[in-house]
């Protein structure tokens, strides 16, 4: 199996199950025009996040890593009118693109972008004692994941779902000898999750237009 096959299969499923979506296509085009890197989730992955948020009955969603707001649009679309998405981004240029994309999608009323290092913003959210989030999507710098996960646990409730993207690291996650900081952080994250009695978790490898990768899902135990 090759990348070409994975692209064709993703295109087939996306065509059948998602189709033409002007707001998301405009968001991707605006991110392109602004020169943002091509590291947003794929359409079928965005839809998965959307369905997970709907299944959770999520009223409050936290995202770590906004980029141009592509996954934020998918997530925010699952919210009820009184729902809230807070998405954290370190790069003001990315946040600016995301703000425009969320506004074009009619989601500025439910989505809020907080600019700064996620570690600081997460600490502020904890200190503020905000209402717990029903779903957290972690998709920023991979070195920060152990800390982001720990904060996510402080910011959720029994029954909440925490999703972490890009956990496979090209297969290197299974390599205990790797010295790549993103890999060692990913392994540390899974040590933390494995030892954490408050969650039940699994990880799934994926292939598609994004290549070979995977997600970890952790549900906070009821």
Query: Which is nearer to ligand SAM, 134 or 213 (by Cβ)?
Result: 213
What are 95's two structure tokens?
A: 């946040």
CB distance 152 to 61 below 8 Å: no
Binding site for ligand SAM (CB under 6 A): 39-41, 65-67, 70-71, 88-91, 94, 117-118, 139-141, 144
| DSSP notation for 105-135 | TT-TTTEEEEES-HHHHHHHHHHHTPPPEEE
Query: Which is nearer to ligand SAM, 21 or 139 (by Cβ)?
Result: 139
Kindly state the smallest distance separating residue 129's Cβ from ligand SAM, in Å: 21
Query: Which is nearer to ligand SAM, 9 or 34 (by Cβ)?
Result: 34
Query: Which is nearer to ligand SAM, 40 or 168 (by Cβ)?
Result: 40
Which residue in the block uniquely carries the two structure tokens 């952080």? 185
User: 159: left (phi > 0), else alpha (psi -120 to 50), else beta?
Assistant: left
Kindly state the smallest distance separating residue 97's Cβ from ligand SAM, in Å: 9
Query: Which is nearer to ligand SAM, 5 or 91 (by Cβ)?
Result: 91
Kindly state the smallest distance separating residue 56's Cβ from ligand SAM, in Å: 18
Kindly state the smallest distance separating residue 54's Cβ from ligand SAM, in Å: 18
C-beta neighbour count of 114 within 10 angstroms? 17
Kindly state the smallest distance separating residue 168's Cβ from ligand SAM, in Å: 14
| DSSP notation for 86-105 | EEEES-HHHHHHHHHHHHHT
């Amino acid at each position: 199996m090759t990348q070409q096959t994975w692209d064709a299969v993703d295109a087939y499923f996306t065509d059948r199950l998602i189709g033409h979506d002007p707001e998301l296509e405009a968001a991707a085009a605006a991110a392109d025009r602004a020169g943002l890197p091509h590291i947003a989730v794929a359409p079928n992955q965005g839809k998965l996040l959307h369905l997970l948020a709907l299944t959770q009955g999520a009223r409050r969603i936290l995202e770590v890593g906004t980029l141009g707001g592509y996954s934020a649009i998918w997530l925010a679309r699952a919210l009820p009118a009184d729902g809230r998405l807070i998405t954290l981004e370190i790069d003001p240029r990315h946040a600016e693109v995301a703000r425009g994309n969320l506004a074009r999608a009619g989601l500025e009323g439910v989505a809020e972008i907080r600019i700064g290092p996620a570690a600081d913003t997460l600490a502020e959210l904890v200190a503020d004692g905000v209402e717990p989030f029903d779903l957290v999507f972690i998709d920023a710098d991979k070195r920060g994941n152990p800390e982001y996960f720990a904060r996510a646990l402080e910011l959720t409730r029994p029954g909440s779902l925490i999703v972490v993207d890009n956990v496979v690291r090209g297969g290197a996650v299974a390599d205990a000898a790797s010295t790549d900081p993103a890999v060692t952080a990913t392994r540390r994250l899974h040590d933390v999750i494995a030892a954490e009695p408050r969650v039940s978790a699994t990880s799934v490898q994926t292939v598609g237009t994004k290549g070979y990768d995977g997600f970890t899902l952790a549900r906070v135990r009821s």
